[in-house]
Structures are given as C-alpha cells and as structure tokens.
Amino acid sequence: MSAEPETGARADRERSYGPDDGILVADDLRKEFGGLVAVDDLSFAVQEQEILGFIGPNGAGKSTTFNCVTGTYPPTDGTVYFKGEDVTGIPAHDMVKEGMSRTFQEFAPLEDRPVVKNVELALAPDELFTLSGMGGETEQLAREICRRVGLGEVMDQTPSELPHAGMLKLELGRAIATQPDVMLVDEPFAGLSADEVQELTEVMESLRQHGMTLIVVDHNMRGLLNLIDRAFVIQFGSKIAEGTPEEITDDPEVQEAYLGGEEI
C-alpha cells in the first residue's frame, strides 16, 4: 500500500508521516468492518504536551480510530508509531505499558468494588508474584488520584452510585493511574453540564501542565474551545480539516459536514 507511487489525488489528500513526526503518529490508518470503511487511510501526528481535539459527527470513525491506535482492534492497514516505534497491532495491555491509555465512551466499571478500588486496579503491576497491595500504599495513591479528578467525596461508594459525571471522572482516574504519557479521552463532555465541563477541562489542563499529551474526542467543538491547541476534523473516516479552533469553525468543508446537523 505505502509502496505504491503517490497519485495526485492521494498526495493532495494527505501527506505521509514517519515515526518521528510526533509522540503519536498514525500513517494511512485504515479499518474496515466487512464492506464498511470506518477509518479511511487516516494520517495524523500528535506532538508532545499537545492537546488535540479529534472531532467529527457521530459515526465518523473517531472511536474506531482510537480502537486501532490503542490495540483494541488490529487495523486493516496502516501504521501506528508511538514514541518513534512501530506499535501497530500490539495488544491493548502492552500499549498501556508503553505509556498510552484511554477512556471508553461506554463505561464499564467493576461493580463489585468501590470507586477507589477501581482506580487501584490500574495501579496493580502486571506481575504474578508481588507484594504490591499488601502495604496499603497503592490504596493511598489511588485515593490521591481520586481526589485529583474530583472523586474525593465519593471514592468509597460503588460505581453504580455515581452520577454520569462521576463515571466519567472514574474513567479518567483509571486512565491516569496507569501513568500514561499520552491519554486518549473519548467523548468526555457528552451529557455534562457547563460546570462539569469546566471542572473536567481544568483537570485535563493540569495533566498537560504535568507533561501529559492528550487527545480529546468530541462530536462538536463547543466544550473544547478553551481546552485544545489544535483540532482535527474527520468525516466518513477521512480528514476534512485541521487547524486551530478558529480556523476550523470558519472552514467551509467543516460547515458543510455539519450542515443540517448541529453546529460545529
């Protein structure tokens, strides 16, 4: 695929990326489900400590792109580079160990244990014989993480007792607990109030201040304007625009993609 000479159309559409173009690079990423092309030769690069907005209407292929990048699904074609290395198709748990974690759009907390223990699991070493967990220091760390994402008051409750925003914070807390360098956050703002959006925005901004790189997915830009440095807009699995939030909102193709639907 990559060996094929660049046709005019393709060179026009995207340029090829190499392993060192960013901390996380996708090059010609493609995912097909049967006949459906969910991700259509998508290429992008994320720089260290950047907050990238990954935007597109529902069904555009955002979650699928994430699933391919993080090893949840193997991509049909294309390459993923992380920290300069080819990590295409490695298992999800290894990807986390490489330093990339993610949140899920559909929450799946462990209902059998309190919130803090959900976070604590993410701190468990991937080792069979370990003293970890015996001394209580991982619990202490898990509590600290809960406080930082705003779950301080509710960390001893079970996840089913949490409101929607609380679930989201739990997802975030679990992802943070794996100590990632890059974090992919899938639709964090859906269903949140303005205050809650603000609170989460601050959490993510502070993570960036501590050196983390973030990709934040949403189906529009409303909640993202104050947060992201750069936006990347896709539709039908392909990029349609890329730039600062201002550039994006003025882009005619983007406006057309959202025509008849909601505002960008």
Ligand X SMILES: Nc1ncnc2c1ncn2[C@@H]1O[C@H](COP(=O)(O)OP(=O)(O)O)[C@@H](O)[C@H]1O
Contacting residues toward Mg ion, per CB under 5 A: 63, 105
Stretch that binds other proteins, among 60-68, 94-102, 192-200, 248-256 (CB under 8 A): 94-102
Q: Could you list the beta-strand ranges (E) of 91-155.
A: 100-102
**HEC string for 140-179:** HHHHHHHHHCCCCCCCCCCHHHCCHHHHHHHHHHHHHHCC
Residue 157: name its binding partner from other proteins, ligand X, Mg ion, none (Cβ under 5 to 8 Å by kind).
other proteins
CB 167, CB 220: distance < 8 Å:
no
Say whether residue 59 binds ligand X (CB under 6 A): yes
Comparison of 11 and 36: residue with beta carbon closer to ligand X: 36
Pairing of strands 100-102, 182-185: parallel
Whose Cβ is closer to other proteins: residue 117's or residue 239's? 117
**Of other proteins, Mg ion, ligand X, none, which one sits near residue 38, judging by CB under 5 to 8 A according to partner kind?**
ligand X
How long, in residues, is the chain? 264
Query: Binding to other proteins (CB under 8 A): which residues in 99-118?
Result: 99, 101-102, 104, 108-114, 117
Counting Cα atoms < 13 Å in the Cβ hemisphere of 135 gives: 7
CB 45 within 8 A of CB 21: yes
Rg of the chain's alpha carbons, rounded to an integer? 19
Residue 62 contacts ligand X per CB under 6 A: yes
Q: Should residue 38 be labelled a site residue for ligand X when binding is judged by CB under 6 A?
A: yes
Query: Would you tell me which residues interact with other proteins (CB under 8 A)?
Result: 91-94, 96-97, 99, 101-102, 104, 108-114, 117, 120-138, 140-141, 144, 157-158, 174, 176-181, 207, 210-213
